[in-house]
Structure 1
Amino acid sequence: MSTSDASPPSQIITLDGLDLAALIASRVCHDVISPVGAIVNGLEILEDEKDEGMRGFAFDLIKKSAAQASARLQFCRIAFGAAGSAAAVLDLGDAEQVARGFIEDQKTKLVWEANRQLLLKNKVKLLLNLVLVATTTIPRGGVIAVSAEGEGDATAFRIVATGPTARVPANVVDLIAGRAPEDRVDAHVIQPFYAGLVAKAANMEVTIEAEVEGERIVTRATPVAA
């Protein structure tokens, strides 16, 4: 795990299963509370407003927010949940679909160059979590390009985030490695920490590097040699 300005390592953190579940639940709620709140606001406008222009605005707000909430829940179901728990594999095509619904907006575009194939569930979950980490490296938006090399257990991922003022957020590299600031983990930092747990379960090594300072961040996940 590396960046050009990695901070000194902290203590490796181990979370109790209940604490991990609670923090992940908090993260999922954080992702969906905004569009759900917008739906509630739209319904209140419809209830009180007689002006047709305002009612049309409310309908558009409800429609857009409902689609956003659905996309976020579908993404979280695979990235954090036990989607398809009866099977040990997930389809990269499904991963692309939920990633595109979750990420693409007016600021950020997703370029998916990973061929469709069935992979072990934890590999796909890791990819989605690393895509989510990549969005934090381009706070002003840009392009996230996802590619894969190899097949099956030998599959490696490469995620390139390009945008103005691109940077690796503080502590992200340590969190993926299982280390935490002030030796604690809370809901604000649980996602990269969880990505590290999934990487370990998938037997993958993750690196994050700024290849073009202030413009491009490259994340790689490669199988750990036996």
Structure 2
Amino acid sequence: MISDTTRIAAGELSQLLGSRLCHDLVSPLGAIGNGVELLEMSPEFPGIDTSPELKLIAESVSAARSRIQIFRVAFGQVQGDQRIARAGMAQLLDGFSAQGRMQVQLDAEGDFPRIELRMIVLAMMCLESALPWGAKVTVVHGPAGWRLVAEADRTRQDAPLWAWLGGEDPRRPQPSEVQFPLLAEALAQAGRRATWDVDDKGAEIAF
């Protein structure tokens, strides 16, 4: 029989699963990256370090590793009062720029609770869904909290999906849109409310 002390809530179980998946994926990607580095240094393959094929592999591995770090924060477990410094936050947000579509600038000082970082990453993923053609995003921290402001030439507007962050009758999300209910859940657990806006020239989330 499972006791109350060992019972796992549904939300916590999904976070444990996310952490496990990310952990298991990091190792093989690291091995591929190390293999690429060894090929670049090997005298048996002169000129391979400048080959477009190897460059593509190296860039893809780097982008995948950055994405897994994003997934680990967004979907993994957050323990206790973990905090992260500004440099670590900036490095993580740079992962959104790995594919070249998003340009992210961080305007914040100090260190921040890991749970806030999770909400920022989930909010960035929400912005990605509205800005699949790319955007310039500024992440600002001030006395009122966080604001993520995106400027873009084109947007994809889907009010029923964004209603998860504040609105009426949110629609059921697709797997690629799970960040919306997850952000809503994280905000509720932290006792916060979000405001949002999506128009023809960009999008914004604040909490």
User: C-alpha distance in 2, partners of 1:160/1:62?
Assistant: 32
User: C-alpha distance in 2, partners of 1:209/1:98?
Assistant: 24
RMSD: 3.8
Moved over 6 A (4+): none
> CA offsets, 1:145-180, max 9 Å, x none?
111102xxxx51111111112244343322335964
* CA 161–118 in structure 1, closer or farther in 2 if over 3 Å, else same: same
Q: Paired residue for 2:171?
A: 181
How big is the shift at 1:181?
Answer: 2.0
Q: Paired residue for 1:220?
A: 206
How big is the shift at 1:186?
Answer: 4.9
User: C-alpha distance in 2, partners of 1:86/1:172?
Assistant: 31
| TM-score, normalised via structure 2 length | 0.70
* CA 87–19 in structure 1, closer or farther in 2 if over 3 Å, else same: closer
Unaligned runs of 5+ in 2: 1-8, 40-44
> CA offsets, 1:64-115, max 9 Å, x none?
11111111112222222236x364333343222111123344322112112x
Unaligned runs of 5+ in 1: 1-14, 222-226
Partner SS for 2:194: strand
Written as runs of structure 1 = structure 2, the 5 A alignment for 1:155-170 is 156-170=145-159
Written as runs of structure 1 = structure 2, the 5 A alignment for 1:63-212 is 63-82=58-77, 85=79, 87-114=81-108, 116-150=109-143, 156-177=145-166, 180-181=170-171, 185-210=173-198
Letter in 2 for 1:81: G
**Contact 1:74 / 1:98 at 8 angstroms: preserved in 2?**
yes
| TM-score, normalised via structure 1 length | 0.65
**Contact 2:97 / 2:103 at 8 angstroms: preserved in 1?**
yes
Of structures 1 and 2, the one with the larger relative CO (CA 8 A, separation 6+) is 1
* CA 63–113 in structure 1, closer or farther in 2 if over 3 Å, else same: same
> CA offsets, 1:185-226, max 9 Å, x none?
55232111101111112222111113xx411222111xxxxx
Partner SS for 2:136: strand
Letter in 2 for 1:171: P
User: C-alpha distance in 2, partners of 1:21/1:87?
Assistant: 16
User: C-alpha distance in 2, partners of 1:23/1:173?
Assistant: 26
Letter in 2 for 1:220: A
Letter in 2 for 1:93: A
Letter in 1 for 2:205: T
* CA 82–208 in structure 1, closer or farther in 2 if over 3 Å, else same: same
Q: Paired residue for 2:6?
A: none
User: C-alpha distance in 1, partners of 2:102/2:70?
Assistant: 16
**Contact 1:177 / 1:193 at 8 angstroms: preserved in 2?**
no
* CA 111–104 in structure 1, closer or farther in 2 if over 3 Å, else same: farther
User: C-alpha distance in 2, partners of 1:180/1:71?
Assistant: 30
